């Protein structure tokens, strides 16, 4: 039983980075596919399409920071907290990145048809990013209260 509890703690340490990376890969892929389609249909603005497609990559950065914050000796007292914080933050980052990628794809599609709304079309993607920041801050604040070995 103790090995299982310890494994949960280790999953909590690496979960935010891994799940954030999975979400970022999917989100950047969705937005990138829309960017490629837009480049095929337009004569200019290609750089901004590519730039928008990278927006979901920030979630993996948040996950890396949370991973380093949780990186400590795994004890039976801290393992459940590490698991809960890490996995739930990681899931929030993953879904945020995926849906931000979808928002970015929509912004690219809208901006190719109507370039004057480019900036405004990014508002939904920025709102979704805000939820990733909330999860990130949540994880950092809660991780400070985890028991430390010694």
CATH code for position 93 = 1.20.120.610
Residue corresponding to tokens 């890969």: 25
Cα(88)–Cα(83) distance, integer angstroms: 8
User: What six digits make up the tokens of 92?
Assistant: 């929030």
CA 142 to chain centre: 18
In a domain, 124, yes or no: yes
SS3 57: helix
Q: How many domains are there within the chain?
A: 1
Q: Alpha-carbon distance 57 to 104, whole Å?
A: 12
The C-alpha angle 40, 45, 47, rounded to 5 degrees, equals 95
Its domain, for residue 38, covers 2-143
pLDDT at 134 over 70: yes
15 part of a folded domain: yes
Q: Average pLDDT in the 3-18 region?
A: 95
Domain assignment present for residue 150? The answer is no
Domain for residue 94, yes or no? yes
Look at residue 86 and tell me if it is in a domain: yes
Assign 150 a pLDDT band (cuts: 50, 70, 90).
low
**Residue 72 banded pLDDT, cuts 50, 70, 90:** very high
Position 55 in a domain = yes
Residue 149 in any domain: the answer is no
- Write down the H helix ranges in the chain: 2-41, 46-53, 58-70, 76-113, 118-121, 123-143
Q: Is 60 a member of any domain?
A: yes
């Amino acid at each position: 039983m103790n090995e299982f509890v310890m494994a949960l703690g280790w999953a909590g340490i690496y979960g935010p980075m891994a799940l954030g990376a999975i979400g970022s890969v999917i989100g950047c892929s969705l937005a990138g596919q829309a960017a490629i389609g837009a480049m095929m249909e337009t004569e200019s603005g290609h750089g901004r399409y590519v730039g928008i497609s990278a927006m979901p990559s920030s979630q993996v950065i948040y996950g890396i920071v949370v991973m380093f914050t949780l990186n400590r000796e795994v004890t039976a007292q801290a393992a459940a907290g590490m698991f809960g914080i890490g996995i739930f933050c990681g899931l929030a980052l993953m879904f945020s990145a995926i849906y931000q990628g979808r928002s970015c794809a929509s912004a690219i599609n809208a901006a190719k048809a109507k370039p004057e709304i480019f900036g405004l079309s990014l508002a939904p993607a920025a709102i979704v990013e805000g939820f990733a920041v909330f999860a990130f801050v949540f994880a950092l604040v809660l991780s400070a209260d985890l028991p430390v070995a010694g």
